[in-house]
Amino acid sequence: MNTNELNKAVVVNFYHDVLNSRRIDQIRDVVSPDYRNAAGQGPEVVMQGAQQLIQAFPDIHWTLEEIVADDDKVIVKQRTTGTHRGVFQGHAPSGNSFESEGFALYQLAEGKIIRHQVLTDRYNFLQQIGVIS
C-alpha cells in the first residue's frame, strides 16, 4: 500500500472502528501524541471531544461519502446523524434528530493523525436540535 492508501485506511479506521463502534479507548491507536488543534494537544483532546458527542448524541453515526488522500492529507466528505438525548455544550436534551453534512481535513504523520479540522453547517445543526430557531 502506498502512503495515500495507508493514510486513508487510518482515517476510515478512525470513523468505523473507533467512533462508530464506540471504541474510544482506541483513539491512541490512530491519533498521535503530537496531535494539536484549537482545543489542545494529544489524543486526549480527541477522546474528550468524541466522548462529549457520544454522551449528547448516543446514536451518533458518521458515514463517509467520499475520501481523498494526497501526501500527508486526507479529506473526507461526511454525513452525521444522531438524536439529541444528552446535554450538548450546556443545552438540555431536546430529543430532536439531526442530519448534517460536512468536510473534515486530516493531516497524518507516521501513520497517525496529527491535526484535523471539521467544517459543517453548524447553524442548520443547531436549528435541527432545537438550540436556535
Structure-block grid coordinates of residue 105: 481535513
Residue 77 three-state SS? strand
> Would 40 be classed as within a structural domain?
yes
What pLDDT was estimated at residue 22?
A: 97
> Would 133 be classed as within a structural domain?
no
Rounded to two decimals, the pTM is 0.94
What pLDDT was estimated at residue 93?
A: 98
CB 132 within 8 A of CB 34: no
> Would 63 be classed as within a structural domain?
yes
> Would 111 be classed as within a structural domain?
yes
pLDDT at 46 over 90: yes
- The predicted model gives 36-43 an average pLDDT of 93
Grid coordinates 497524518 are at which residue?
108
What pLDDT was estimated at residue 50?
A: 96
Sheet with 61-70: list strands edge to edge: 61-70, 73-83, 97-109, 112-120
Q: Which domain range does residue 46 map to?
A: 3-128
Supply the mean pLDDT for the chain.
97
> Would 85 be classed as within a structural domain?
yes
- The predicted model gives 66-76 an average pLDDT of 98
Chain centroid offset of residue 99 CA: 14
- At 104, the pLDDT band (50, 70, 90 cuts) reads very high
- At 1, the pLDDT band (50, 70, 90 cuts) reads confident
Q: What is the CATH number of the domain that holds 45?
A: 3.10.450.50
pLDDT at 133 over 90: no
Total domains, the chain: 1
Residue closest to 104 by CA, chosen among 114, 116, 113, 112: 116
